[in-house]
Structure 1
Amino acid sequence: MKNKKDKNEKTVNDFKKEEKKENLEQIEKNNLITSLEVDLKEYQEQIINLQLKNHEETIKLNNRLNNEIEKFRKFSLEKLIIEFLPIIDNIERALNIIKEKREEFYLEIIKKLNFISSLLDEILTEFNISKINDNNVLFDPEIHQAMSIDYNDKIQDNHVVDIMQSGYILHESRLLRPAMVIVSKSKK
């Protein structure tokens, strides 16, 4: 009987040891699962943060690209227009010379040149190019280039007296060419 009791005790002890071992294993598994869940949550947060950052960078890049495209679209004609301006200048000079002559022969030429000049002005307006050709305005070094000084007490100092050559601005923001002007200065 003692043997049986010893055997039972051994079995109970073995069972307790095994149960304890299983409990320890379960605790280790639970700890591992908890640790993995924490790691998973951290990785998920990192992934979400990276996705948000990438999304923000994509939006910024897209905006920058759209701005560059808009600038290119607005100012793509700049070089062509600058090359085209001397033609307009020569037509204006021809008109001024012919108007001074005032002969009948030239009147037909004046009409045709005026027509061409008005067509060119329409084209420039269509492409948002404005002419700088106002007299009696304050001299602005940003848009005017002083070519001469007119010493005159009848006009305020630093005002445009005459336009020698028109200037042009593209989209009201980019100067294509300053106006060449004569500026007033008092005789004193």
Structure 2
Amino acid sequence: MSELAEEKDLETTIEDAAKAEEQLPEVTGDPLEEAIARVQELEEQLEQSNKRVQDVQLRSRAEIENIRRRAEQDVEKAHNFALEKFAKELLEVIDNLERALDLNTQAIDDTGKAIFDGVELTYKSLLSTVNKFGIESVGVVGETFNPELHQAISMQPSEGFTTNQITQVLQKGYLLNGRVIRPAMVMVAA
């Protein structure tokens, strides 16, 4: 029995070893190479994540810069155009002074002449003051018609003027820091 039993035990052991070997996971390559490949894969994922984080940071900085720039522009516009309503009201005063100055001065006596000179000084002082705050007039005879600055009331043929030149200014226009607050009403050469 001993030899036969030993042979059977040996066969059983070989069969058990074969079954155990079948149950082991299949090793296709070197475990070190597999670990290196896994580390490289993880490094690539980390690099991609870092790129996404950098992209998000860059976009966030750009958005913050845009918000700051827009806020600065809004503050600048508020400073530049805060006087717009007030300036429009002053334009009526300027127009009235201009109408007063358009009177025929030859029919005025010495007392009237003094009043006329006072009105003229007041007008010049007012224009100087509004110019300091960025208000400037537009609409001069002989200048080329610009639809952004002028409002054409009519077009008529005129000697001495080329087409689209202003021949007469009916009401001056005004800009506040480069923005039209009232277009000039003009007649244009046809």
Q: TM-score range by the shorter chain?
A: 0.5 to 0.7
Instruction: Identify which of 67, 71, 74 aligns with 1:68.
Output: 74
Cα distance in 1 for partners of 2:128, 2:101 equals 18
**2:139–2:150 CA contact under 8 A, matched in 1:** no
1:176 aligns with 2:181: yes
Cα distance in 2 for partners of 1:37, 1:152 equals 81
The DSSP-based 3-state class of the residue aligned with 2:103 is: helix
* Residue of structure 2 in register with 1:113 after alignment: 119
Segments of structure 1 that go 5 or more residues without pairing to the other structure are 1-30
Kindly, what percent of the aligned residue pairs are identical? 29
- Relative distance call for 1:115 and 1:33 in structure 2 (3 A) is same
1:152 aligns with 2:158: yes
- Relative distance call for 1:104 and 1:53 in structure 2 (3 A) is same
1:96 aligns with 2:107: no
* Residue of structure 1 in register with 2:58 after alignment: 52
Cα distance in 1 for partners of 2:189, 2:138 equals 17
- Relative distance call for 1:104 and 1:166 in structure 2 (3 A) is same
Cα distance in 2 for partners of 1:34, 1:151 equals 84
- Relative distance call for 1:134 and 1:38 in structure 2 (3 A) is closer
Map 1:72-91 → 2, pairs under 5 A: 72-91=78-97
- Between the two proteins, the alignment pairs up a number of residues equal to 161
Deviation track 1:40-76 (CA, whole Å, cap 9, x = no partner) reads 6665554444333222211111111111211222122
- Relative distance call for 1:39 and 1:83 in structure 2 (3 A) is same
The DSSP-based 3-state class of the residue aligned with 1:85 is: helix
1:103 CA drift (Å): 2.8
Normalised to the residue count of structure 1, the TM-score between the two structures is 0.67
Cα distance in 1 for partners of 2:171, 2:94 equals 10
- Relative distance call for 1:161 and 1:64 in structure 2 (3 A) is same
Normalised to the residue count of structure 2, the TM-score between the two structures is 0.67
The DSSP-based 3-state class of the residue aligned with 1:63 is: helix
Q: Which has the larger radius of gyration?
A: 2
Map 1:121-136 → 2, pairs under 5 A: 121-136=127-142
1:161 CA drift (Å): 2.1
The DSSP-based 3-state class of the residue aligned with 2:102 is: helix
Segments of structure 2 that go 5 or more residues without pairing to the other structure are 1-36
Computed over aligned residues only, the root mean square deviation of the Cα atoms, in angstroms, reads 3.2
